[in-house]
Amino acid sequence: MVNIIWVFLTVIGIIFAMVNGTMDQVNEAIFNGAAEAVTLCIGLISVLVFWLGMMRIAEEAGLLQKLSLLFRPIVKRLFPEVPNDHPAMGYILSNMMANMFGLGNAATPLGIKAMEELKRLNGGLDIASRSMITFLAINTSSITLIPTMVIAIRMKYESASPTEIVGPTLIASFCSAIGAIIIDRYFHYRRTRKG
């Protein structure tokens, strides 16, 4: 559906530019936007590679394992159906750690693997389990300690203080995560009471 909306908006924009005689400005905007996107992506790749390297060092040093052990009791309460030794638990914890450090792109493959393991735990059904719904809610609204990618974008565009967003991001992401958990639990208990 989103693809249809984007195509519709693009076609309307091009028709509007043709009617108003501003196609040259549209062409210029397309080429400038494409060039800026490539430049921005190359700049973000360096930051992403740095933080992925730091995550790898933390993993090799055992820091991620210690953080996972610290968060395991909380995660176990959020996902009571997932056994402690199940691979889904490891992927969920790794995904949460990557999201905490603002590595959304690096967290995505871990989130996909976690969903695959949760689906396997759900018997391969195409219906989302309670754990899958909870994971989606938490993954979407995860707590971010260091918004790495946003800081990188702010640095790229020469912000006077690119790290000033750390505090507000932490507060906003904490509130969104708590809100997601409350809403998830509310609808779960409401559904189980009806059933």
pLDDT in tens for each of the 195 residues of the chain?
A: 788 998 998 889 889 888 888 888 888 888 888 888 887 777 777 777 777 777 778 778 877 677 777 888 888 888 988 887 888 888 888 888 888 877 766 778 888 999 999 999 998 888 889 999 999 998 888 888 878 778 878 887 888 888 898 899 889 999 999 999 999 999 988 888 876
> For residues 3 and 35, what is the distance between their CA atoms, to the nearest angstrom?
23
For residue 146, CA distances in Å to 45, 99, 114, 192 come to 17, 9, 23, 37
Q: How many CB atoms lie within 10 A of CB 134?
A: 24
Which residue's structure tokens are 């719904």?
A: 133
For residue 94, CA distances in Å to 90, 135, 151 come to 6, 12, 22
Which residue's structure tokens are 């005689």?
A: 21
| Angle ∠(85,89,91) on CA atoms, nearest 5 | 125
